[in-house]
Amino acid sequence: MLWVKPLASLRGKLYDMATALTGLAGDVASFYNMSQDEAYTKLKSVFTGETESLKSLGVVMTQTALDAFAMANGFGKTTKSMSEAEKVALRFKFVQDQLCCTRRLYEDIRRLGKTR
């Protein structure tokens, strides 16, 4: 739990992040046909910055992608000048955004398939 200490500055937001991450784990488990525990294990990389587990979900979280996402989404700086808490917030938003896009694409494909 070494990743918890740098997050002290996010105290007010941690509950909201944990709640959202739990919901996202449920969505990922359902969408990818895996247990919620397995989905949560993959998603907890938003706290650690490890990226391998996310690749199986179609999320490629590189430094370049994070920096571009940060600049395009109002973070105002790249990861090089961010605190650990800011990096966690960025990774969380990035993963949430990437998985949301994947789910919307799947829903669009299903919807188009039903109309033909």
Global model pTM greater than 0.85: no
d(CA 21, CA 47): 11
Weakest mean pLDDT among 1-10, 25-34, 52-61? 1-10
Over residues 80-115, the pLDDT tens digits come to 999 988 998 999 999 988 888 666 656 655 666 655
